[in-house]
């Protein structure tokens, strides 16, 4: 069990590091991070703290929809945002955003790779998925839509809201949307992790 928690924390750190790399590249981030970035600007709060707030709201919605969380779900809510803020206050890679486009693109794709590796490790710990996955399950359960459709509708809705709030959208957002799925699948194979078979349950 200790090894599984260590794997979970490593995965959450890598996930947060990937988001931080996307922010440092200044080319746009994933849909949920566009939303967190827009809210961060509007509320004048640190990005990571805002991301935690968004995760808490999503977690509560999923909980009200009777999706059962795991301990990994709770740690996901807190640790990813905390890791992002710790990295953002450091001077590491602060100059990347003003650097050549090739370097910014490399940083963007490095961020996608880090998020993918983090996903493989924290899901491979089998201690519960993130709150966003729980909300996806809730939508699937309540509407009867296929999981892929539920996820797509959720991501598109979040992205639109984030853009309206002025979040950091750009070519990196498109790259994230197109690459994250295949990257996560590759990370599961490379790190020899197995996805969670059934870690959340929804009441009929």
Please say if the pLDDT value at position 52 is more than 90: yes
Average pLDDT for the chain: 90
What angle (nearest 5°) sits at the alpha carbon of residue 111, between those of residues 108 and 113? 115
Label residue 1 by pLDDT band (50, 70, 90): confident
Cβ within 8 Å of residue 102, ≥6 positions away: none
**pLDDT tens digit sequence for 144-190:** 888 678 878 888 999 999 999 999 999 999 999 889 888 988 998 99
Q: Which of 28-32, 111-115, 146-150, 178-182 has the lowest mean pLDDT?
A: 146-150
- Alpha-carbon distance values, 122 to 25, 85, 110, 114, 173 (Å): 25, 19, 18, 12, 23
Please say if the pLDDT value at position 200 is more than 60: no
Q: How many CB atoms lie within 10 A of CB 154?
A: 20
pTM: 0.89
Q: Which of 43-57, 76-90, 140-154 has the lowest mean pLDDT?
A: 140-154
Q: What is the pLDDT of residue 197?
A: 53
Q: What is the pLDDT of residue 203?
A: 39
Q: What is the pLDDT of residue 33?
A: 96
Please say if the pLDDT value at position 41 is more than 90: yes
Q: What is the pLDDT of residue 11?
A: 96
Mean pLDDT confidence for 5-15: 97
Beta strands in 130-177 (DSSP E): none
What angle (nearest 5°) sits at the alpha carbon of residue 117, between those of residues 115 and 121? 115
Please say if the pLDDT value at position 109 is more than 80: yes
- Which structure tokens are listed for 136? 């996806």
Cβ within 8 Å of residue 148, ≥6 positions away: none
Decide: 23 and 33 in contact? Cβ < 8 Å: yes
Which DSSP state fits 99? S
């Amino acid at each position: 069990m200790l090894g599984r928690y260590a794997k979970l924390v490593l995965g959450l750190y890598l996930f947060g590091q990937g988001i931080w790399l996307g922010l440092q590249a200044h080319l746009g981030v994933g849909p949920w991070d566009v939303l967190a970035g827009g809210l961060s600007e509007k509320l004048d709060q640190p990005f990571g703290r805002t991301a935690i707030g968004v995760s808490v709201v999503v977690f509560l919605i999923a909980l009200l929809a009777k999706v059962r969380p795991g301990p990994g779900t709770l740690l996901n809510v807190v640790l990813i945002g905390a890791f992002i803020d710790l990295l953002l206050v450091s001077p590491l890679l602060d100059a990347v955003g003003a650097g050549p486009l090739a370097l910014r693109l490399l940083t963007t794709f490095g961020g996608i790779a880090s998020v993918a590796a983090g996903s493989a490790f924290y899901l491979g710990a089998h201690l519960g998925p993130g709150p966003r996955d729980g909300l996806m399950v809730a939508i699937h359960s309540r509407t009867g839509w296929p999981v892929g459709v539920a996820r797509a509708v959720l991501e598109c809705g979040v992205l639109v809201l984030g853009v309206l709030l002025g979040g950091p959208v750009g070519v990196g957002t498109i790259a994230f949307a197109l690459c994250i799925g295949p990257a996560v699948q590759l990370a599961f194979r490379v790190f020899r992790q197995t996805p969670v078979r059934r870690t959340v349950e929804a009441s009929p």
